[in-house]
Amino acid sequence: MSHLLHTLRRMMHLMVGQPDYDAYLRHMRHHHPGHAPMDRTAFFRNRQEARYGGKNGGKCC
């Protein structure tokens, strides 16, 4: 049940362009251990700008 809720939550976030923050942290830890990752707020703002900046071709009719 908690797995289902977790999936739903991630789905809702990705629908509005927010990928998983924990996955981002994991990626940074594994591949760029020297770099400090963005904090949660910076990550949120970065993804918001990426989704809505207009360079993604928008959404469908």
Partner 1 sequence: MTRHIPWILTALVGAVSLAVVAVSRGETVNALWIVVAAVSCFLVAYRYYALFIAREVMRLDPARPTPAIRRADGLDYVATDRTVLFGHHFAAIAGAGPLVGPVLAAQMGYLPGTLWIIAGVVVAGAVQDFMVLFVSMRRDGKSLGELIRMEMGQVAGTIALFGAFMIMVIILAVLALIVVKALAESPWGMFTVAATVPLALAMGAYTRWIRPGRIGEVSILGLIGLLAAIVYGQAIAQSPVWGPIFTFTPVQLCWILIGYGAVASVLPVWLLLAPRDYLSTFLKIGAIAALAIGIVIMAPPLRMHAVTQFAAGGGPVWSGGLFPFLFITIACGAVSGFHALIASGTTPKLIATESDAPLIGYGAMLMEAFVAIMALVGASILDPGIYFTMNSPAAVIGTDPASVSAAVTAMGFPISPDLIVQTAKDVGEHTIISRAGGAPTLAVAMAEIFSHVFGGPAMKAFWYHFAILFEALFILTAVDAGTRAGRFMLQDLIALAVPSFKDSKSQLPGFVATGLCVAAWGFFLYQGVTDPLGGVNTLWPVFGISNQMLAAIALMLGTAVLFRMKRDRFAWVTIVPAAWLLICTLSAGFLKLFSTDAKVGFLAHAAKYGAALDKGEVLAPAKSVAEMRQILFNDYVDAGLVAIFLAVVLSLLVFTIRTCIAARRFAAPTAREIPAQLVTTP
Footprint on this chain of partner 1 (rule: CB under 8 A): 7, 9-20, 23-28, 31, 40-41, 43-61
Q: How far is the CB of 50 from partner 1 (least distance, A)?
A: 7
Which residue, 1 or 60, has its beta carbon nearer to partner 1?
60
| Least distance CB 7 / partner 1 (angstroms) | 6
Q: How far is the CB of 17 from partner 1 (least distance, A)?
A: 8
How far apart (Å, rounded) are the C-alpha atoms in residues 18 and 24?
Answer: 11
Euclidean distance between CA atoms 34 and 57, whole angstroms: 34
Task: Annotate 1-13 with b (16+ C-beta within 10 A) or e (fewer).
Answer: eeeeeeeeeeeee
